């Protein structure tokens, strides 16, 4: 019998106090201070810090520019630059805000993260289904996960950070509402096991995981390699599939999260159909808040045969 993969243990351990990690502790202390700040003070500060990032983050910005140009070829160079500028602002704002998810009360989180479409969760739970939430890599994804975790038991799967202290800190946030965190190496079997235990999770379908088992499907003005695994997970785990979108409202200073109606299982029978549906969901979520998507990811790294690399 295969050994069962264990979820991440977020308990503190003495190794986290090693001198090589003291710089990271200082960074976490800064994030703690910002997490306690009122948003009307914190938000203007993050906009100033974003201007510095625009100057120094040349490589990620280059990747973001390529992605945006591939997806939206009709945008002018000035429009692309404006979108990237807003994108960096969104990144810094979320980065310096997210400690509030760990240090502030549940009542505060509910005020900060407005949730619409709760009836879709309630109906799935009433019908005794766990839920696979579909959401692409957007900057406020941790806010969506924690807010939903207040409503039902959740697990998540993540890629480990190289810095063990930041890895611990991030996973403390993700597990702060009792959710369990698995490293990506745990594989799909861990997720299937959790579904069968009536636990739900977020699945991020937009990451480029290479050509093996991926299917190319339209994605905005280009094509994208997509891994069609959600349909199989939902079938094996008796789960409903609910798309989710989230974005930060700068005027109201709240994160608006919307749970969309469940996907029909008939739309995900073949791998080709599922890949198309997943890409359409990603497009829908990105269109709602295009400036808050993680454009710096190499989401178009795998190209159809005969096409040159774009990065």
Tens-digit pLDDT profile for residues 119-163: 999 999 999 999 999 999 999 999 999 999 999 999 998 988 899
Checking if the pLDDT of 166 tops 70, the result is yes
C-beta atoms surrounding 219 within 10 Å: 23
Dihedrals phi, psi of 168, to nearest 5 degrees: -65, -45
Compute the mean pLDDT over every residue in the chain, rounded to the nearest whole number: 94
pLDDT range class, residue 7, cuts 50, 70, 90 = confident
Checking if the pLDDT of 2 tops 50, the result is no
Structure tokens at 252: 């109201």
The packing angle between helices 187-196 and 230-237, to 10°, is: 40
Q: Is 22 exposed, middle or buried (0-12, 13-18, 19+ CB in 10 A)?
A: exposed
Per-residue pLDDT, 6: 81
pTM of the model as a whole: 0.94
- Range name among 85-94, 184-193, 244-253, 281-290 with the lowest pLDDT average: 184-193
Query: Using CA atoms, how far apart are residues 236 and 234, in angstroms rounded to an integer?
Result: 6
Per-position DSSP letters for 206-264, written without gaps between them:
TS---STT-EEEEETTEEEEE---HHHHHHHHT-EEEEEEEEEETTTTEEEEEEPPPPP
Which CATH number does 17-292 carry? Answer: 3.40.1130
Give the mean model confidence (pLDDT) for residues 88-116. 96
Largest CA distance in the chain: 58
Query: For strand 154-158 and strand 200-203, is the pairing parallel, antiparallel, or unpaired?
Result: parallel
Domain assignments of the chain as residue spans, ordered by start: 17-292
């Amino acid at each position: 019998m295969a050994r069962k993969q264990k979820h991440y243990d977020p308990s503190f351990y003495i190794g986290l106090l090693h001198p090589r990690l003291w710089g990271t502790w200082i960074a976490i202390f800064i994030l703690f201070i910002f997490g306690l700040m009122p948003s009307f003070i914190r938000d203007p500060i993050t906009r100033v810090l974003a201007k510095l990032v625009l100057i120094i983050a040349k490589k990620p910005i280059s990747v973001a520019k390529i992605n945006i140009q591939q997806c939206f070829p009709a945008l002018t160079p000035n429009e692309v630059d404006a979108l990237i500028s807003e994108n960096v602002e969104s990144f810094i704002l979320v980065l310096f805000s997210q400690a509030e998810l760990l240090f502030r009360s549940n009542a505060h989180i509910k005020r900060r993260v407005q949730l619409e479409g709760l009836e879709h969760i309630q109906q799935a739970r009433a019908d005794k289904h766990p839920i696979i939430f579909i959401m692409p890599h957007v900057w406020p994804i941790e806010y969506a996960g924690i807010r939903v975790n207040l409503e039902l038991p959740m697990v998540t799967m993540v890629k480990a950070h190289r810095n063990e202290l930041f890895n611990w800190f991030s996973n403390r946030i993700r597990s702060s509402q009792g959710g369990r965190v698995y490293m990506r190496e745990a594989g799909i079997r861990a997720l299937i096991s959790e579904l069968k235990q009536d636990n739900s999770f977020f699945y991020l379908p937009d990451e480029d995981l290479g050509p093996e088992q991926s299917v190319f499907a339209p994605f905005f003005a280009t094509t994208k390699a997509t891994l069609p695994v959600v349909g199989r997970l939902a079938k094996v785990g008796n789960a409903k599939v609910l798309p989710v979108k989230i974005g930060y409202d700068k005027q109201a200073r709240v994160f608006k999260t919307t749970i969309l109606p469940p996907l029909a299982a008939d739309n995900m029978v073949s791998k080709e159909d599922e890949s198309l549906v997943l890409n359409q969901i990603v497009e829908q979520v990105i269109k709602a808040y295009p400036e808050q998507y993680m454009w710096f990811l190499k989401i178009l790294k795998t190209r159809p045969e005969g096409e040159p690399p774009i990065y």
